[in-house]
Amino acid sequence: AGLSISVVKNAIYTVIRAPSAKDLGEHIVVQGGTFLNDAVLRSFELELGREVTRPTIAGLMGAFGAALAARDLHLEHSGLLGPKALETFTHTARPVTCGLCTNHCSLTVNTFDGGRKFISGNRCSRPLGKEKVELPDLMNYKYKKLRAMEGVGEGDGSRGRIGIPFGLNMYENLPFWFEFFTRLNFEVVLSPESSRKLYLKGQHTIPSDTVCYPAKLLHGHVEALVEAGVDAIWYPCMSYNNDEGIGDNHYNCPVVAYYPELLAANVPALKRTRFLDPYVGLWRHKDFAKRIAKIMEDEFQIPQKESRAAVKLAYDAYERYVNTLRETGKEYIEYARAYQMPIIVVCGRPYHIDPEINHGINDLITSFGFVLVTEDALSYLEGYAPRKVLNQWTFQARMYNAARYVCTQDDMQVIQLVSFGCGTDAITTDELRDILESGGKLYTQLKIDDISNLGAVKIRVRSLMAAIDARKARRKQGANA
């Protein structure tokens, strides 16, 4: 009973977003397989305070609707088998783990009479025997560029090995820290690429299961760095991001800002190494240079003058990185328009480009023929604008600005990536939806976390494609009228 009531309330107040049950009207007909459950039906009636009508075919009404929609599209003759063909119809299904890449997708291979096969569960076209078409994908571009930021760089590595956990805001600040430490002649060692195995390595030290999956992964990252035998691990607490002038403030969310403190208190392995988690802020250049020079002198006996020089070079490297992403975003958009391809702007956080976190969603999007760019390649194109909510988080402010820009472009749509455990996104999703829908755009949200089934994601992306095509068709009809 409790579960049934929860399902009903979630549907009314979260999915439909009705202010009250009375707003749904007086005469209600329900459909869908869920309403075949008597407990759900009765919970719905009790919540609304009135009787509702459930047709005997409630569980099949979606199928009838799909058939009517297919008929209205005036496609070719149906491929459904007739009665005679069904008499000799055979079908077998077997589970297979794909080994063509590190995703290791769980496939279902359906074999029909005559040797015909249908494969489901795949995130790309490779298991189907098709060549993968590499379309511009800024998520993939950024990830590869960041993973390359390890080693000695322009230095000689003579001062030892500094470990940096590859997660959360390091996806934002790694270009700065890599240049800073290599200029001081440290070798930068990144933790391994995220994986389920890495997550399980640190799972026993996670104090709260409600935190987002990107944060949970950090436990495995620091454990791996300790095992790698680095001389020290650098993971500072950072309340603020750089001020981009697009929000009311430029905070990191509390999890991103202070997770080093939680790791220090809950990961026993960190006692076997030097775990450096000072409070620093990059947005005030002079103050930061003074503070980091003192930290480097105290921890590694590095002359302050040398650290200050490294700071200047690190700021220059970060600026070059940001400009490179923006220029690459422009190139991808020009490519899409040259070949008349639709553009998807993925709005998320920097760490959502991690394949273990996004589960290959970027590959799925490009496999449907979209060119993919990210919010940080567009957010600078719009200036500050007041919002209905307190716009104090840098990563969210970028999403709002990117959405505003998308509303001015006919060939762009937004897909927002959201982690289940993210508290601030409860606000962000509503605001982003409002910006897009008021600008005549579609809003699509994909929830990601420590799951890997992309079946629902494929449905959402295909639904977005269908909605885009339907809008184009209506515009064409209006122009011809």
Query: 210, 52, 137, 156: which is closest to 358 by C-alpha?
Result: 137
185: region left, alpha or beta (phi > 0 left; psi from -120 to 50 alpha): left
Round to whole Å and give the CA distance between 124 and 363: 7
- The angle, 0 to 180 degrees and rounded to 10, between the axes of the packed helices 285-300 and 304-338 is 120
Round to whole Å and give the CA distance between 423 and 413: 25
* pTM, full prediction: 0.85
Lowest mean pLDDT among 22-26, 106-110, 453-457, 461-465: 453-457
For residue 381, give the amino acid letter.
L
Query: 401, 452, 476, 463: which is closest to 107 by C-alpha?
Result: 452
Lowest mean pLDDT among 112-126, 251-265, 338-352: 112-126
If one counts every other C-beta atom within 10 angstroms of the C-beta of residue 121, the result is: 19
Pull the structure tokens for residue 39. Answer: 């407990």
| 3-state secondary structure at position 407 | coil
Round to whole Å and give the CA distance between 343 and 336: 7
Reported as a single tens digit per residue, the pLDDT across 203-215 is 999 998 889 999 9
Domain boundaries, the chain: 2-70, 90-128, 141-321, 334-476
For residue 339, give the amino acid letter.
Y
Question: What's the distance, Cα to Cα, between the start and end of the chain in Å?
Answer: 53
Classify burial at 160, counting beta carbons within 10 Å of its beta carbon; exposed 0-12, middle 13-18, buried 19 or more.
middle
**Maximum Cα interatomic distance, the chain, rounded to a whole number of Å:** 86
Mean pLDDT of all residues in 135-158: 96
For residue 420, give the amino acid letter.
F
Q: Is the dihedral of CA 195, 201, 205, 210 positive or negative?
A: positive
- The angle, 0 to 180 degrees and rounded to 10, between the axes of the packed helices 394-406 and 425-438 is 10
Round to whole Å and give the CA distance between 272 and 226: 7
Pull the structure tokens for residue 390. Answer: 């307190």
Instruction: Name beta bridge partners: 109.
Output: 94, 119
Mean pLDDT of all residues in 108-135: 78
Instruction: Name beta bridge partners: 414.
Output: 345, 443
Instruction: Supply the pLDDT for residue 78.
Output: 72
Lowest mean pLDDT among 16-20, 63-67, 123-127: 123-127
| 3-state secondary structure at position 134 | coil
Top-level CATH class of 334-476?
alpha beta
Mean pLDDT of all residues in 181-188: 98
Query: 139, 141, 145, 173: which is closest to 346 by C-alpha?
Result: 139
| pLDDT: which is higher, 100 or 340 | 340
pLDDT band at 22 (very low <50, low <70, confident <90, very high): confident
Classify burial at 200, counting beta carbons within 10 Å of its beta carbon; exposed 0-12, middle 13-18, buried 19 or more.
exposed
Classify burial at 424, counting beta carbons within 10 Å of its beta carbon; exposed 0-12, middle 13-18, buried 19 or more.
middle
In which residue are the tokens 């982003």 written?
Answer: 432
* DSSP letters spanning 326-390: HHHHHHHHHHHHHTT--EEEEE--GGGG-HHHHTTHHHHHHHTT-EEEEGGGTGGGS-----SS-
